[in-house]
């Protein structure tokens, strides 16, 4: 029996028979739902007990996704007719001991984000050939516009595309269900279209995480008064996977690398810092 939970703790998961092989998918619904890339662990649905305020988004004719209605954390993806549920690895300590095995829709992966070692590569065409049905049309190409998976939330950013960073802290992993990768902005540079219903979860005393209340799509982290890594009021970190075009943003850093599950890692010569290093630098006024 393996036990897991969402970031706020309201949703708990108990399961047996969780696959040791983790999957990653770059299709539109997956990456907008989880904030960078959809990650899953196949689990027999009848060996899985989920309790708490789960909301379900019917993402297509044949599939649905579950998320926590309190904090927005990604919980699962499933084919409605199937007997397998794909649990998000971020629910569990160390991704329940699983190792990344394959990567779907690799042609939609942004150049800056590469798993190391590289898992088995499956193109969208190859994936489609082996599947009865697939989700997700080709994404629009705009680096300064974005939205959630269901389309209820749409936003624009001003300025030029900046770099991105990654965080593997416990809260980021549980909230996204996998990897949190973001690009920094200011609240005043962010324009939300209309008045969509949002989940605004206070993830720490001075900051909150925002997701779509309808689909659970991860949107951004927002500093309200301040945070432990030196963020100031009005700083936002936009989830990379929510942007229409994820390209053109080099990966500059990975934070909390000591909390990253052993089953995946990322290539590149960017900065890597442990939790202790991040906190020590922010205490002395260094780069958050
Ligand atoms: Zn929750
Ligand atoms: Zn949505
Ligand atoms: Zn984090």
pLDDT of residue 172: 97
Distance CA 212, CA 229 (A): 25
Gap from CA of 153 to ligand 2 centroid (Å): 6
- Tell me, yes or no, if the two domains 2-129 and 145-283 fold the same way: yes
Closest-approaching ligand to the CA atom of 218: 2
Pairwise CA distance, residues 88 & 238, whole Å: 21
Tell how far the Cα of 11 is from the centroid of ligand 1, in angstroms: 5
- Which tens digits make up the pLDDT trace of 76-112? 999 999 999 999 999 999 999 999 999 999 999 999 9
Element (H, E) at 255: strand 251-255
Q: Which ligand is nearest to the CA of 198?
A: 2
- CATH match for 145-283 among 3.40.50.10860, 3.40.50.11540, 2.170.150.70, 3.40.605.10: 2.170.150.70
Q: How far is the CA of 136 from the centre of ligand 2 (A)?
A: 14
Distance from residue 127's CA to the centre of ligand 3 (Å): 31
Pick the ligand that lies closest to the CA of residue 229.
Answer: 3
Residue range 103-122, pLDDT digits in tens: 999 999 999 999 999 999 99
pLDDT at res. 209: 98
The proportion of the chain whose per-residue pLDDT surpasses 90, expressed as a percent, equals 86
Question: What's the whole-number mean pLDDT along residues 46-61?
Answer: 96
Mean pLDDT (the chain) is 94
Q: How far is the CA of 108 from the centre of ligand 3 (A)?
A: 24
- Does position 192 have pLDDT exceeding 70, yes or no? yes
Can you tell me the ipTM of this complex?
A: 0.94
Q: How far is the CA of 80 from the centre of ligand 3 (A)?
A: 32
From the CA of 257, how far away is ligand 2's center (Å)? 30
Return the domain boundaries, the chain: 2-129, 145-283
Give 41's pLDDT tier (boundaries 50, 70, 90). Answer: very high
Q: How far is the CA of 126 from the centre of ligand 1 (A)?
A: 35
Confidence band, pLDDT 50/70/90 cuts, at residue 131: low
Q: Which residues surround ligand 3, an ion (CB under 5 A)?
A: 167, 169, 172
Phi-psi region of 154 (alpha: psi -120 to 50; beta: other; left: phi over 0): beta
224-254 pLDDT per residue, tens = 998 888 889 999 999 999 999 999 999 999 9
Ligand index nearest the alpha carbon of residue 260? 3
SS (H, E, C) 80-133: CCCCEEEECHHHCHHHHHCEEEEEECHHHCCCCCCECCCCEEECHHHHHHCCCC
Per-residue pLDDT for 134 more than 60?
Answer: no
Q: From the CA of 183, how far away is ligand 1's center (Å)?
A: 23
Percent of the chain with pLDDT over 70: 95
Q: Residue 135's pLDDT is what? A: 63
Does the pLDDT at position 126 exceed 90? no
Q: What is the third-level CATH fold of 2-129?
A: 2.170.150
CA of 116 to the centre of ligand 2 (A): 31
| Token digits of residue 62 | 């044949």
- Bridge partners (DSSP) listed for residue 48: 15
pLDDT value for 286: 57
Distance 93 CA to ligand 3 centre (A): 15
Q: What is the layout of strands, in order, in the sheet containing 2-5?
A: 2-5, 12-15, 48-51
Ligand closest to Cα of 227 equals 3
């Amino acid at each position: 029996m393996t036990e897991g939970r969402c970031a706020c703790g309201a949703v708990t998961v108990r399961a047996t028979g969780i696959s040791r092989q983790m999957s990653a998918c770059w299709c539109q619904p997956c990456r907008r739902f989880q904030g960078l890339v959809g990650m899953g662990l196949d689990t027999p649905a009848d060996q899985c007990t989920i309790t708490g305020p789960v909301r379900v988004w019917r993402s297509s004719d044949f599939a649905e996704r579950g998320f926590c209605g309190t904090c927005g954390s990604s919980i699962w993806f499933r084919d409605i007719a199937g007997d397998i549920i794909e649990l998000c690895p971020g629910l569990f300590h160390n991704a329940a001991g699983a190792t990344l095995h394959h990567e779907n829709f690799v042609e939609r992966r942004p150049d800056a984000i590469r798993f190391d070692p590289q898992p088995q590569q499956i193109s969208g065409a190859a994936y489609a050939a082996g599947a009865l049905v697939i989700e997700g049309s080709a994404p629009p190409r705009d680096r300064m516009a974005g939205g959630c998976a269901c389309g209820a939330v749409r936003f624009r950013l001003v300025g030029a595309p900046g770099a991105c960073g990654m965080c593997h802290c416990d809260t980021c992993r549980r909230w996204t269900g996998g990897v949190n990768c973001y690009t920094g902005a200011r609240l005043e540079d962010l324009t939300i279209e209309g008045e969509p219903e949002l989940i605004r979860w206070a993830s720490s005393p001075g900051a909150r995480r925002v997701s779509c209340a309808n689909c659970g799509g991860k949107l951004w982290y927002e500093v309200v008064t301040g945070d432990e890594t030196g963020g100031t009021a009005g700083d936002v970190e936009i989830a990379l996977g929510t942007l229409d075009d994820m390209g053109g943003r080099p990966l500059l850093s990975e934070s909390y690398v000591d909390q990253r599950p052993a089953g995946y890692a990322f290539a590149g010569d960017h900065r890597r810092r442990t939790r202790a290093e991040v906190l020590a630098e922010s205490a002395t006024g260094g780069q958050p």
